[in-house]
Amino acid sequence: QVQPVQSGGGLVQAGGSLTLSCTASTQTFNSYSVGWFRHAPGLQREFVSALSWTGGRIYYSDVVKGRFVISRDNAKNTVYLQMNNLKPEDTAVYYCAADPPDYTRSWIYNNALTYDYWGQGTQVTVSS
């Protein structure tokens, strides 16, 4: 079992940058696809970005495309979400989630139900 642990986040002014990390203690994590979601007060949980376990497939939501970058460092068992040019509307609790490999089904990267293991969440607040 993989338990992702998140770090990063915090308070930043609009236009600034933050990097979130999602780490697991086992190298098994490197064979998992990882997604990032966010949940703002009063809104539904929203897909942000996803990275396949091979790193060959990367996806972003339209609202973050061009500003956020997802990447992974297998040597550190870590997936990163670099967030640039942050806007007040990016304020939310951000969650990483891991999906173990399953060759019997398609990877629906933007569906939270796809993911079995979730990080604890980290607050990102962007001030105007």
pLDDT tens, position by position, 34-50: 999 999 999 999 999 99
pLDDT, residue 84, reads 98
Q: pLDDT at residue 1 above 80?
A: no
Quick: pLDDT tens for 106-126.
899 999 999 999 999 999 999
- Residue bearing tokens 């040597």: 75
Residue 41 and residue 97 in contact, taking contact as beta carbons nearer than 8 Å: no
Model pLDDT for residues 45-73, shown as the tens digit of each residue: 999 999 998 888 999 999 999 999 999 99
Share of the chain above pLDDT 70, in %: 100
Conformational region of residue 104, where left means phi above 0, alpha means psi within -120 to 50, and beta covers everything else: alpha
Alpha-carbon span 124 to 39, nearest angstrom: 10
CA angle 46/27/113 to nearest 5° reads 25
Can you give the pLDDT at residue 50?
Answer: 98
Residue 92 CB neighbour total at 10 angstroms = 21
